[in-house]
Amino acid sequence: MYELDESKYLYLFAVIPVLVLLFLVNLYWQRKKQREFGNPELVKKLAPERSVFKPTLKLIVLLLGLSGIIIALVNPKIGTKTETVKREGIDIVFAIDVSKSMLAEDVAPNRLEKAKQIVSQTINQLGNDRIGIIGYAGSAYPVLPITSDYSVAKMFLQSMNTDMVSSQGTAISDALKLAGTFFDDPQTSKLVILISDGEDHGEGSAEAAKAAEEAGIKIITVGVGTEKGGPIPLKRNGITQSFKRDNAGEVVVTKMYSDQLKAIADVTKGGYIYGSSTREVSDYVKKALENIEKTEFESKEVSLYESQFQWFLGAAFVLLFIELFLLERKTAWIRKLNLFNEKE
């Protein structure tokens, strides 16, 4: 078994026929000029030590050396043995608040974008864990089922917005119930990372957290926003036109309520962290994962490949070194053999 590590460099082999063509053109030009200079036989007698074969030999050695360098760049690998690789991790569901209050800009750039940054940075810290994503406001909406494809998860994450759930509010209980349906293996360690400002968290969140605890699900809550709060901007084409107002015409000020988020985390003996620093949150989650038992997802046989570029590179240097000392004069012992009918 073999594989090519950098197959993109194979296109460099196109240089070989170009060099051959240039050699043939130059050879034709030389012979044409010799015929213009005089009788070819007389010209040959004027340079009796010049070999007809040596220029071709130099070209062959040069092309072999260049081919060796190209193959070294491609870095062919040969499978020497196989081993069983076990994949262990936990299942994680990110439940992200997408209610209108998450548009408040009391944290930069706004609460929702801050939540996305936190999730993205946390994903970067993961190893073999599987992840899923839920968006929730007045109801919960499945964004991405459990997967090990982090790049796809980030793509779906960036597409989340406050318009994806029509009903407003912060139905944490619905989010926790939906998260429970994401975990398809009862033996796998389970974690829900819930990111919200905690405002208008609805009824039944404590009961939902208790049900999650009974199902073996830990919950880490992350609070985004500030206790001072801020208005909810109404934008058009990225420009703030006004702010959301209540029925009395007053500007609505939305605040972060950490007490509700802490209470939910405490039920499952998870944890709460304030999400002002993306780095601190990702480090907190990473440390929490170290204390959660990992589950084996799968084991499979994989081939171990070893690079072989060094052999081709070494041979190329030897050939190019030889090419430097190949002169276009006849070699004495070859001339005695007269392999190319070079004797008169």
* Rounded distance between C-alpha atoms, residue 230 and residue 68, angstroms: 66
Q: Is 231 in the same domain as 116?
A: yes
Q: Is 34 in the same domain as 150?
A: no
Q: Is 248 in the same domain as 325?
A: no
- Whether residue 80 lies inside any domain: the answer is no
CATH code for the domain of 158: 3.40.50.410
Q: Is 140 in the same domain as 236?
A: yes
Q: Is 218 in the same domain as 315?
A: no
Question: What's the total number of domains in the chain?
Answer: 2
Q: Is 160 in the same domain as 11?
A: no
| Main-chain dihedrals φ then ψ at residue 269, nearest 5 degrees | 55, 40
* Cross-strand pairs, 94: 133, 193
Q: Spell out the per-residue pLDDT of the chain, length 344, in tens.
A: 677 878 888 889 999 999 999 988 988 887 777 677 666 665 565 555 566 667 788 889 899 999 999 999 988 888 666 666 566 778 999 999 998 899 999 998 999 999 999 999 999 988 888 899 999 988 889 999 999 899 999 999 999 998 887 777 667 888 899 999 998 777 788 999 999 988 765 668 888 899 999 989 999 999 999 989 999 898 888 788 888 888 888 898 988 988 889 999 999 988 999 998 999 999 999 898 888 877 765 555 556 677 888 888 999 999 888 888 776 665 554 555 554 455 54
Per the listing, tokens 């030897």 go with 318
Burial of residue 98, with CB atoms counted within 10 A of its CB: 0-12 exposed, 13-18 middle, 19 or more buried:
buried
pTM: 0.62
- The range of the structural domain enclosing residue 114 comes to 86-299
